[in-house]
Amino acid sequence: MSEDHTQKVVWITGAAGGLGRALISNFAAQGWRVAATTRRTCADIPESEIIWPFVMPVEDRKKITAGARGIIRRWGAIDALVNNAGVTTDRLLARMNESDWDTVLRVNLKGAYLCSQAALETMVPRRSGHIINISSNAAKTGGAGQSSYAAAKAGLVGLTQSLAGEVGIYNIQVNAIFPGVLPTGMTRNLPRAVLGNYARANALRRLNDPDEVARFIVFLAGMKNISGQVLQLDSRMGRWT
């Protein structure tokens, strides 16, 4: 299918989750064409003129390559990639089985590597593009029972900064986001007391919300001079190191 290529195109992974849906609606509202990929069919992400949902496990190289090339055939380019796909299987390390560890690293970190590599096929020749990785405050603080998740999200920071150095010469920007704790499916089953502790750790004594994070990411995808940065979007504060 060949369509008008004047609109910018964003590829969002993990599009079925709370932040993913907010990203879809905010990019679409700003006139972007949205390729929204999910690990399984999600009927309530509607296909429209500018939203194209399709199934693509982020850890499957062949499907990722085919998906990225499909986006390019349909809309001509990938102007921005948001690596938002993520899972967690919280468990103390002594009790964590290898399969759960591998799943978290494969989806959160390897998926970002594979999708970034696929997107760069079109970004490098065009000398333009944004890659935005959704990391987590867990990358720098860890958390009991979150060793696999913290390791994957810390890996995303390293990937972000290394890749920014590699592709800056091609005018490609790579940044990471710490979105803060969000009321999404990933946190739905956390006890109220735990969520309360997260809120109190913020100077504003409240959690962030997906829509505000998504608006920031849309704004970042339109900037020209920011790369290699880790941008924290809640009100938790830490020491300078």
* Positive or negative torsion for Cα 159, 198, 231, 182: positive
Q: Write down the domain spans for the chain.
A: 9-230
- At residue 147, the 3 state secondary structure works out as helix
Can you say how many angstroms the Cα of residue 181 is from the centroid of all Cα atoms in its chain?
14
Which tops the pLDDT comparison, 219 or 87?
219
d(CA 228, CA 72): 26
pLDDT at 196 exceeding the cut of 80:
no
Using one digit for the tens of pLDDT, what is the confidence trace for 177-190? 999 887 666 666 66
- Given a contact cutoff of 8 angstroms between Cβ atoms, the answer to whether 137 and 158 are in contact is no
Q: Give 40's pLDDT tier (boundaries 50, 70, 90).
A: confident
What was the pLDDT predicted at 1?
Answer: 37
d(CA 241, CA 161): 17
Catalytic residue among 113, 149, 170, 198: 149
Structure tokens at 18: 């709370």
What was the pLDDT predicted at 39?
Answer: 86
Q: Give 114's pLDDT tier (boundaries 50, 70, 90).
A: very high
State the pTM of this model: 0.92
* Residue 34, strand partner residues: 10, 51
Amino acid identity of 206?
Answer: R
pLDDT at 25 exceeding the cut of 90:
yes
Cβ atoms < 10 Å from Cβ of 81: 28
Is 113 marked active-site? no
Closest CA to 230 of 186, 183, 174: 174
Contacts of 56 (CB under 8 A, 6+ apart): 13, 37, 38, 39, 63, 64, 67
d(CA 17, CA 143): 22
What was the pLDDT predicted at 112?
Answer: 97
CATH superfamily of 9-230: NAD(P)-binding Rossmann-like Domain (3.40.50.720)
